[in-house]
Chain A
Amino acid sequence: MTLLGSYLTLAAVLFCLGLYGVLTKRNAIVVLLSLELMLNAVNLNLVAFAKYGMIPSLTGHIFTLFTISVAAAEAAVGVAILIVFYRRRVTVNVDEFDELRR
């Protein structure tokens, strides 16, 4: 038995921790960080399957690179939106992000 199961379990732990952070944290920066943690868990899965999957290939590595680029773009846009919001409402509490609801 290879270490594949252990890698997948670690990725599941990280994904669930990130999901818990996204669902419960009120600070928008911590929510963005938890999202990054979830994306990293997915990347770990991709790289683990690239080595220990049935047909080892480098496609998993390439998907990992693409995921990292998308995550970087997402973080940049997220922080920009956060700063614009902070300028208008002087808070970073995600409970206050309710302009579309009112």
Chain B
Amino acid sequence: MFGLNLDVTGELAAFFILAVCAITGAVMALNLTRVIHSVLSLAFTFISLAGLYVLLGAEFAAFVQVLVYVGAVTILMIFGIMMTRHDHDSQERPRPFMEALAGIGCLALFGILFFNIRGTDFPAPSGTLPEDNVGELGRLIFSGFAIPFELMSVLLTVAFVGAVMLARREEDDLP
């Protein structure tokens, strides 16, 4: 999957280490029986993906990934686990037919994606990213993408107010 001329550079080695970490975390998250273990192993995947972002020159995206995914989303899921009960013995009725069907579907999707990726002739990049990545990103967000950025803040506010309203105990609004 990496061409015929196998020249091992530092980027290639780092990519494969991080890719193996990411896939291992994802597979373990799907196989572990306890939910808290899946959350932690998925946090491992998120950290590996942040490493891949650094490798791709997206330092700010990597920082936000660690901050939001590893910091916030994982903790939110752990809170969700804390507030609910997980008796993982009684609820697992095996459904082999459904799971086999889903597995075949996912493998078929992966096959289609893989063969299309291998068959596509990607043109060489015509240039490089600017050196001062984060500064340029900030300039772009506050000039060209200012309106989507503000809309995103409105969306976040609405979502969090909605989440608080939903999860509030209903006794609270009794007099």
Contact residues of A with B, CB < 8 Å? Answer: 1-10, 12-21, 23-27, 29-30, 32-34, 36-37, 40, 43-44, 47-48, 50-62, 64-66, 68-77, 79-84, 86, 90-93
Contact = CB atoms under 8 A, between A and B. Distances in A.
A25 B160 CA distance: 26
Given A20-B102, A92-B85, 16 more contacts: A5-B1, A7-B56, A12-B114, A12-B117, A14-B45, A23-B105, A30-B30, A32-B77, A33-B29, A33-B38, A37-B42, A47-B61, A51-B129, A62-B137, A73-B160, A75-B77
Interface string B140-166: 110001001000100110011011101
Contacts of A13: 23, 26, 110
Contacts of B17: none
A88 B113 CA distance: 41
B56 A72 contact: no
Main DSSP-derived SS at the A contact region: helix
Contacts of B109: 16, 19
Residue in B52, B56, B83 with the greatest tally of chain A CB atoms within 10 Å: B56
Interface string B86-121: 101001100100110011011101100110011010
Chain B residues touching A, range: 35 or more
Task: Please list the 4 inter-chain residue pairs (A to B) with the smallest Cβ-Cβ separation, ordered nearest first.
Answer: A73-B159, A23-B102, A80-B163, A80-B166
Contacts of B99: 24
A23 B100 CA distance: 11
Given A9-B1, A13-B110, A33-B39, A72 B125 contact: no
